[in-house]
Structure formats: structure tokens, C-alpha cells
């Protein structure tokens, strides 16, 4: 693989991770605490079984030329 800017083959692959994990708000946290107290802690198993907090995290690979610094995708 060659750099599109300078034509060098001295490149390095890098992985970038972007995204955001959804966090619970105060009202949601209070709801889970009250529910856990009322059900003697059994309600705390629900988030564990459903996968916990969800979010959108994406990662992609790009390449960097070590000679000129140009960052490019495949």
C-alpha cells in the first residue's frame, strides 16, 4: 500500500474508536433503587441480563504515512 500524497510505502495502520455510551439520569437511577428495595434486590438482575447500558461505539481503521503525515483510508 502506498501513500496517496507522497507515494511512500512507509505507513502505519491505526484504529480509531468513536462514540458515546448512554448514561442513566437521576430519575432513572432513583427508580432502579426503589425497585431494588421493593423486590429485595431481584430487580438489579434485569440490567445485567439485558446487557446493561447501551451505546453507539464505532471503530474504523485508517492509515498514516510516516514520511509526510497524511492520514487516509484504504
Residue 3 forms part of a structural domain: no
Residue 1 forms part of a structural domain: no
| β-bridge partners, 13 | 63
Which among 19, 15, 17 is positioned nearest to 62, based on CA atoms? Answer: 15
Residue 30 forms part of a structural domain: yes
> Collapsing DSSP states into helix, strand and coil, what is residue 38?
helix
What pTM was estimated for this model as a whole? 0.49
Any residues with CB less than 8 A from the CB of 2 and at least 6 apart, and which?
A: 8, 9, 11
- pLDDT, tens only, 58-67: 888 999 999 9
> Collapsing DSSP states into helix, strand and coil, what is residue 18?
strand
pLDDT band at 6 (very low <50, low <70, confident <90, very high): very high
Residue 44 forms part of a structural domain: yes
Domain that holds residue 48: 11-69
What's the structural domain count of the chain?
1
Amino acid at each position: 500500500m502506498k501513500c496517496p500524497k507522497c507515494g511512500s510505502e512507509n505507513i502505519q495502520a491505526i484504529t480509531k474508536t468513536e462514540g458515546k455510551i448512554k448514561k442513566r439520569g437521576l430519575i432513572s437511577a432513583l427508580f432502579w433503587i426503589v425497585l431494588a428495595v421493593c423486590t429485595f434486590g431481584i430487580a438489579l438482575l434485569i440490567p445485567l441480563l439485558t446487557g446493561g447500558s447501551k451505546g453507539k461505539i464505532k471503530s474504523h481503521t485508517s492509515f498514516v504515512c510516516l514520511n509526510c503525515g497524511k492520514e487516509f483510508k484504504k
